[in-house]
Amino acid sequence: MAQSMSLDNFRVHFFLEHQYHPDIMTVIQAFIKTNPNLDVDLTVRTERKHPFLASFNILDSYRESCQRSLDYFILAEEDILPSRDFLAFHDYVYYRWMINRPKIWGICHKRRHETEVPGDPSIVVGDSHCTSLALADVQGIKMFLLEHLCDEYFKTPHTYAARVFPDSQYAPGDHMDHDGQLERIMELNSLWCLRPDQGRTMHAGFYGGNEHYYNIKKRGEEFSGDTYLEKANQIKAILHDSGAMKERMHEYKEQIVSIDLDGYDWDRIDLDVDRTRCPGSPWFQDTENKFKDYYVVTR
């Protein structure tokens, strides 16, 4: 992201999970050294407050970020790599198609199931489905999310879902992590997300905790370096090798999303409300395109 457009216009805030790996601090220190002119904040969680790993950390970062941001903030999990045009793309889309429409409360990542479908880099679409937020609207987060970041939800998300979202498409015991909370809030309030037809983020979840979770046996075998830097360079070589990434996509399934990290060429980004110019977006949860009705009325 440091190679993307105008990072110096942002404050960077790292949120470290409870009992984080020491190598993470090595990465942060290297980032600060490489970008000495940036404002950098650091929050270290002292306890785990949600049954699902990282869910409290991620959702509470929304709460803190919207207090420190003007119009929007960017969310980046540790295994998400942005394209070079990532910041410029999201900034353009926000101020062209989102600002002052809090019911369009974010720009989400492209759906993982569609990552291999080539899209138009100059098109975004609207939908009621949220594949994790890459950009969040401050006004929308304050209006619709903050009231749900309460002790009851963090301690017992299933009982909170049953009480507050009884009509959700998701059963109370399903999809209880941070993404599920966002989806339920969107349902309750008839909210929307914009989604790039061509993704701008690579999800490189092939090393670390997810390997253990998905019972993948290669943990530690591929990367033989003795130091963090040696292993990081080996992982970096894979990330920039499209063939190696595609091989891992088949092995790790939904944990991998591959894009062109060099970015995409565009002069303007259009919102395709008719869904006729979005070849990379064959699926919509909003099958009746009620988003078009909403956008035409509020334009």
- What are the chain's domains? 7-200+260-298 (3.90.550), 203-257 (no CATH)
Q: How confident is the model at residue 78 (pLDDT cuts 50, 70, 90)?
A: confident
Predicted pLDDT of residue 80: 79
Q: Across the chain, how many H-helices and E-strands are there?
A: 11, 11
Q: Is residue 249's pLDDT more than 70? A: no
Q: Torsions phi, psi of 188, nearest 5? A: -60, -35
Q: Is residue 220's pLDDT more than 50? A: no
Contact 149, 65 (CB under 8 A): no
pLDDT tens-digit series, residues 20-64? 888 889 889 999 999 999 999 999 998 888 887 788 989 999 999
Predicted pLDDT of residue 217: 45
Beta-carbon contacts of 10 under 8 Å, excluding residues fewer than 6 positions away, are: 38, 74, 87
* Chain position carrying tokens 């969310």: 75
Name the 3-class secondary structure at 274: coil
Q: How confident is the model at residue 212 (pLDDT cuts 50, 70, 90)?
A: very low
Q: Is residue 117's pLDDT more than 90? A: no
Predicted pLDDT of residue 219: 45
Predicted pLDDT of residue 72: 97
Cα separation, 216 vs 210, in Å, equals 8
What average pLDDT does the segment 104-119 reach? Answer: 82
Predicted pLDDT of residue 198: 93
Helix or strand run (H / E) with residue 154: helix 151-155
What average pLDDT does the segment 255-280 reach? Answer: 86
Share of the chain above pLDDT 90, in %: 55
Mean per-residue pLDDT of the chain: 85
